[in-house]
């Protein structure tokens, strides 16, 4: 088990091997280590700083590279059950991942669902940089495509009805009125007897945000395509980022 230590206390472990190696069996039978604590009182090592300086400069240059522009600020609270930034993210996954998935599997992604809590920052009006994508998606989550039964997809819609958050969605339109759920996928009425290919994050696939309906799908396809990289690639292809609220998820309140 690794214990993570909060800043400013960072611990560096130096492990010394070979002190008890059985070279005949090629098995490590013993080891020793020393614990070197690095904190705010640790002296700066100019040699290390000089070594990493060119890498730091190159990283700073890359991270602040302007890749697109947006005429308006997008954030996750600018709509009721959807948001401009959420729609943009879900659309980006459909646009960037679908062709790759189809080329490998001959199947198309039917729709995408992400989570509201995974949007960690807004996209401010003006220049959009690589760092913008890192701010929006600072996690190492990757896209995973799941083949889900109609029953599982129905559970997904029920979840949206229960928790009523602006979870990003693309490729589907869901209208909820009380206990009644009307949904279309790729413009066609949802069929509970049909299976669908759903793109999401590996975090949600593991049950994050209580999205347990993603468990035990009919098929699992790991793309190893980080959502942050999807955003960077998508931004880089667009001179101007545009996103609108188009009623993808609607929850009508029923008077009691």
Domains and CATH numbers, the chain: 1-42 (no CATH), 66-252 (3.90.780.10)
Helices (H), 15-170: 46-63, 84-105, 130-136, 150-163
Yes or no: say if 248 and 167 are a contact pair by the CB < 8 Å rule: no
What pLDDT is stored for residue 14 in this prediction?
A: 40
Yes or no: say if 218 and 148 are a contact pair by the CB < 8 Å rule: yes
Q: What is the pLDDT of residues 187-217, one digit of tens each?
A: 999 999 999 999 999 999 999 999 999 999 9
**H or E stretch including 202?**
helix 202-205
Length of the chain: 256
Instruction: Give burial (CB, 10 Å; 0-12/13-18/19+) of 32.
Output: exposed
Identify the three-state secondary structure at position 158.
helix
Owner of token pair 């062709």: 99
**Alpha-carbon span 240 to 191, nearest angstrom:** 36
Q: Please give the backbone phi and psi of residue 32, each rounded to the nearest 5 degrees, phi first.
A: -130, 155
**H or E stretch including 176?**
strand 172-177
What pLDDT is stored for residue 54 in this prediction?
A: 67
203's CB contacts (< 8 A; 6+ apart) are 115, 118, 139, 141
Q: State which residues of the chain have pLDDT below 50.
A: 1-20, 23
What does pTM read for this prediction? Answer: 0.78
What is the C-alpha R_g of the chain? 23
Q: What is the pLDDT of residues 13-46, one digit of tens each?
A: 444 444 445 545 667 777 788 887 878 787 877 7
What pLDDT is stored for residue 13 in this prediction?
A: 41
Pairing of strands 196-201, 142-148: antiparallel
What pLDDT is stored for residue 66 in this prediction?
A: 95
Closest CA to 13 of 47, 38, 30: 38
Identify the three-state secondary structure at position 231.
helix
What pLDDT is stored for residue 50 in this prediction?
A: 77
Peptide bond into 8 cis (omega under 30): yes
């Amino acid at each position: 088990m690794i214990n993570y230590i909060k800043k400013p206390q960072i611990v560096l472990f130096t492990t010394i091997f070979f002190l008890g190696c059985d070279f005949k069996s090629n098995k490590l039978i013993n080891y020793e280590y020393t614990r070197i604590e690095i904190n705010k009182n640790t002296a700066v090592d100019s040699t290390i700083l000089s070594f990493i300086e060119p890498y730091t400069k190159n990283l700073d240059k890359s991270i602040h590279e302007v890749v697109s522009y947006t005429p308006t600020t997008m954030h996750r609270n600018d709509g009721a059950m959807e948001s401009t930034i959420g729609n943009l993210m879900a659309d980006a996954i459909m646009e960037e991942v679908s062709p790759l998935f189809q080329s490998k599997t001959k199947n198309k992604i039917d729709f995408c669902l992400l989570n509201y809590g995974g949007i960690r920052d807004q996209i401010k009006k003006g220049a959009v940089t690589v760092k913008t994508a890192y701010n929006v998606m600072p996690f190492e989550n990757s896209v995973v495509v799941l083949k889900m039964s109609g029953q599982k997809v129905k559970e997904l819609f029920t979840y949206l009805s229960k928790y009523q958050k602006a979870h990003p969605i693309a490729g589907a339109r869901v209208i909820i009125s009380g206990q009644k759920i009307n949904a279309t996928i790729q413009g066609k009425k949802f069929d509970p007897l049909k299976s669908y290919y759903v793109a999401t994050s590996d975090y949600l696939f593991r049950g994050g945000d209580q999205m347990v309906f993603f468990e035990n799908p009919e098929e699992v396809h790991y793309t190893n395509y980080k959502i942050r990289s999807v955003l960077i690639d998508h931004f880089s292809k667009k001179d101007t980022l545009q996103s609108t609220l188009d009623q993808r998820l609607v929850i009508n309140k029923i008077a009691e």
